[in-house]
């Protein structure tokens, strides 16, 4: 990375996953690096996202475990759940991770500057009363929850607030149809709340494979979650004596003790002073970047959720790694092909590659393999839950284009198959692979008969 007559070679705004990785790696390669953060180190993922959410998913699973245990000979007592105890334990783990991030940055020689940063010009960053100059600047400010502009919207909360609720609500209505809405529906139901999920479209998780979406919807209904699709929210009203009423344009009403807005996220770019730098923003406030994460100002870059690319923590980290290579004279782009992802719903979803719908738009011949079965762990428990696995194959080349799953451990299973996808595996190679028995994962290498087109 070239040295200039500035305070720093690289100044990073935002200490989330992407910003921290870029700062650490650049510093390890000899650059003078600073990172500014107005909140807690680790960003959304560590503090109000992936990590606390997954801890709550684990907590919610115990309801099933206690219930299923009797089928395996265990005498079940009457377990009691304490929301305050869960929040206290979660907070302790987040505080530990904050400390880990600080030690990683300190150990790499990165200067941590606490406070909200803004750009005065293309090389100057202002934090509080202090100004710093840098040869290169990285915007890694992430995103924030979006709340639609409807009357009474302030009566609801966003996902950030759920992690700090003093008590578990008895009734919760979740508005939205993305992964955050689906995950919190499962968490809250598992912990004992009555849950309604309200979405304006015909089926949640738009962009995922249709079979995954339909399968998960059926499983959530079995769990007693009230799914309200094709339902618009016109306004929220406070109920005398407590509670919130959700009103639709057709007179439909849903009452709840807590309303969660899970209606998407927006880039965190307000107040950064980008107008003074010539950095171009998109229609939703996202930072527009090229394939090397460079903005319209040649020395300013952006990675992660503040851009309009793939909003996943590992993607932000990979973008940061590619950027550091670029800054060190080795122009490197991020490979966005076949990025695996998971939705930690109950049951969870794991997916990588093309959906069936996407494949049919790109390939002349598509072959589908699909299997639906009850997981072995539920046979003695008697639980009425089914796993669905699906392969999308190019009929002309035999290449596996997509691997999709709804069922226990879906994320863990799909991670391995994502490696095969990156290697261009064919269905014949899947078939030639010996399965591990008895596992659910073996089903992916034993599906022989395609479904009828």
CA distances for 122 relative to 131, 133, 264, 424, angstroms: 13, 9, 30, 42
Residue 325 is inside which H or E element, if any?
Answer: helix 313-327
Cβ proximity of 406 and 400 under 8 Å: no
Asked about 437 being catalytic, the answer comes back as: yes
- CA 226 to chain centroid: 23
Instruction: Encode burial over 371-382: b for 16+ CB neighbours within 10 A, e otherwise.
Output: beeebebbeebe
Per-residue tokens: 44: 């959304």
Count Cβ atoms below 10 Å from residue 444 Cβ, excluding itself: 24
Residues facing residue 130 across a β-bridge: 127
Using only the alpha carbons of the chain, give its radius of gyration: 24
With DSSP H G I counted as helix, E B as strand and the rest as coil, what are the percentages for the chain, rounded to 5? 35, 25, 40
Which of the following is catalytic: 6, 362, 404, 437? 437
Number of H helices, E strands in the chain: 11, 22
Write out the H or E segment, with its range, that includes residue 105: helix 83-108
Distance CA 246, CA 236 (A): 5
Contact between 218 and 385 under an 8 Å Cβ cutoff? The reply is no
Distance of alpha carbon 39 from its chain centroid, rounded?
20
Q: Taking Cα atoms as reference points, which of 428, 125, 183, 441 lies closest to residue 299? A: 125
What does 364-406 look like in DSSP terms, one character per residue?
Answer: S-EEEEEEEE--GGGTTTT----EEEEEEEETTT-BEEEEEEE
Residue listed under structure tokens 């020395």: 299
Residues marked active site are found at 437
């Amino acid at each position: 990375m070239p040295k200039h007559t500035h305070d720093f070679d690289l100044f990073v705004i935002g200490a989330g996953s992407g910003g921290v990785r870029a700062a650490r790696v650049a510093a390890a390669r000899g650059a003078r690096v600073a990172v500014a953060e107005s909140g807690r180190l680790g960003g959304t993922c560590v503090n109000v996202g992936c990590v606390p959410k997954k801890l709550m998913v684990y907590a919610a699973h115990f309801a099933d475990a206690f219930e299923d245990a009797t089928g395996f000979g265990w005498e079940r007592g009457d377990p009691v759940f304490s929301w305050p105890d869960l929040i206290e334990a979660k907070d302790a783990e987040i505080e530990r991770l904050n400390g880990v991030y600080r030690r990683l940055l300190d150990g790499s020689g990165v200067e941590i500057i606490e406070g909200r940063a803004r750009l005065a010009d293309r090389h100057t960053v202002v934090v509080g009363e202090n100004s710093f100059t840098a040869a290169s600047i990285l915007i890694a400010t992430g995103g924030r929850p979006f709340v639609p502009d409807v009357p009474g919207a302030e009566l609801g909360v966003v996902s950030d607030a759920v992690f700090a609720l003093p008590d578990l609500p008895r009734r919760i209505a979740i508005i939205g149809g993305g992964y955050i809405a689906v995950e919190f529906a499962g968490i809250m139901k598992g912990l004992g709340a009555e849950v309604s999920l309200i979405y304006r479209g015909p089926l949640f998780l738009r962009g995922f494979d249709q079979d995954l979406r339909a399968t998960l919807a059926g499983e959530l209904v079995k769990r007693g979650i009230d799914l309200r699709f094709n339902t618009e929210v016109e306004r929220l009203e406070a109920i005398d004596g407590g509670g919130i009423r959700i009103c639709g344009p057709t007179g439909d009403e849903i009452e709840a003790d807590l309303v969660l807005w899970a209606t998407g996220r927006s880039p965190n770019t307000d107040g950064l002073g980008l107008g003074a730098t010539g950095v171009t923003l998109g229609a939703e406030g996202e930072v527009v970047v090229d394939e090397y994460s460079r903005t319209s100002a040649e020395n300013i870059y952006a990675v992660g959720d503040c851009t309009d690319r793939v909003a996943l923590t590992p993607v932000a980290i990979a973008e940061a790694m590619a950027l550091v290579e670029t800054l060190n004279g080795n122009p490197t782009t991020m490979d966005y092909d076949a990025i695996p992802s998971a939705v930690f719903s109950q049951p969870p979803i794991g997916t990588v590659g093309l959906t069936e719908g996407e494949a049919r738009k790109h390939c002349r011949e598509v072959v589908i393999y699909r299997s639906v079965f009850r997981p072995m762990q539920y046979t003695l428990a008697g639980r009425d839950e089914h796993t669905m696995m699906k392969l999308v194959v190019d009929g002309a080349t035999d290449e596996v284009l997509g691997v999709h799953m709804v069922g226990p451990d879906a994320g863990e299973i799909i991670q391995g198959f994502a490696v095969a996808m990156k290697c261009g595996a064919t269905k014949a190679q899947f078939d030639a692979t010996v399965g591990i028995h008895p596992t659910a994962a073996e089903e992916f290498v034993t599906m022989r008969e395609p479904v009828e087109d």
